Structure 1
Amino acid sequence: MTNPHQEPDHVPKPLVDHLVELRTRLLWCFVAILAGTVFCYVFVQDIYGFLVRPLADAMGPGDSQRLIYTNLTEAFFTYLKIAFWGGAFLTFPVLAVQIWGFIAPGLYGKERKAFLPYLVATPVLFITGAALVYYLIMPMAWRFFLGFQSTGAETALPIQLEARVSEYLDLVMVLMFAFGFCFQLPVLLSLMARAGMITDAVLVRGRRYAIVLIFVVAAVITPPDVISQIGLAIPLIGLYEISILLVRRIVRERAAAP
């Protein structure tokens, strides 16, 4: 009798059929992102207001509280990028479902049950990372950088921020995506453990190197200030320690499996 935990629950298909299915699912992903982008463009000014709120709060009230654009089309294309960013964020569940629908038929029944928690954890961790940088890191970092402004009484000429809207929003969106993706560390390491690529002993032995690598990554993807770097590095170190516990559990389960 066939064991459902040992055999996939589908009939193998030719490579061409898999490619056709992949094309169809990619098309659905494209349509979903396009629809999400159009929807978000309707509310693009609200999304813009949300993204610039940390800078506005750090600036405080005053005539200098503004963002500028120096190219005639800059504001328009910035709004398009905001709409696309919001559309991709909004339609992530659709993308996840399409990915799951493509790979699930090739998994064993037991593997499907093991993979589902990661499908749920991925958006939760992504949103957690994005929320961390928005509500904690950016307010502190923006106040730090705005502290270098000066008036004419302090220096020969005043130093005032005249930030371009495209540069600021590019920085904010990159930071939120970077933090969100970095927070996928437990998912990545757990999946590698299930594939037999790593063990908890390997992670423990490499802890010192991992900490150094985490600080290097934090220094590369964050603004050049200690606040942002530490704000990303410390949560990642905590997630690395959590990953060790998860991988240890997975290794024990693999060892106990018949």
Structure 2
Amino acid sequence: MKRVEGKVALITGAAGGLGSAAARMLAREGARVVVTDRAAQEAAGRAVAESLGDGQGLFLALDVTREEDWVRAMEATQARFGRLDVLVNNAGMGIPKDVESLSLEEWRLVHAVNLDGTFLGCKHGIRAMRQCGARGSIINVSSQAGLMGVPSLAAYASAKGAVRMFTKTVALHCAEKGYGIRCNSIHPTFIETNMVKALLEASGAPDRAREGMRRSIPLGSLGEPDDVAHGIVYLASDESKLMTGAELVLDGGGTA
């Protein structure tokens, strides 16, 4: 069954990790997918787009912190596919520092990517969906860290918590306006991605840190990118048509 047949999705941070897994799964379920990432990731992003099949993928360079990039991306998406139905605000970054060691510049950078990027995506995604009359779905990738404090990830937890509350605001705004656009957040635990690998390396004792991560998850293992991609497909599909302003928590029981 093609669960998102005929839909057009745009995913940020899609050159690898969660974004590329979501792109491939959405394409398998019938969507055409705009793969976006920073210009420095163009080769990897184009490879993901090309892997989706003939005419099913498109790569666009997009720095989520730059509004002009969002405007160009939406214009290019509509020019190529004629519409936008699904937006996945997935691009993110973290700096493994606590509140005392974090600089103001680092604080602002983490919030710019994780929170400002989500704001700009929602702003311009809503506009694009309204222009084509889509009953769209916006999916904001937050984190388990957006639901609970993480001393060693001060800026990241702050930004992801803000993404959670901003998602609810966007959801209620769209509902009150009668746009037919839903907005939900998704909250993964530690997933086997390059970001988690970098956190492990930064710890200075990656094996011990990995074991600590594993033991913090009651189900006993780190997640895989496809675990999150399955959730994204559900939120993108009409199966979740009654769901807006909600959290989809994929944490192996961590917040329980």
Q: Normalised by the size of structure 1, how large is the TM-score?
A: 0.28
Going by fraction, where is strand more abundant, 1 or 2?
Answer: 2
Tell me which protein shows more helix as a share of its residues. 1
Larger RCO of the pair (alpha carbons < 8 Å, separation 6+)? 1
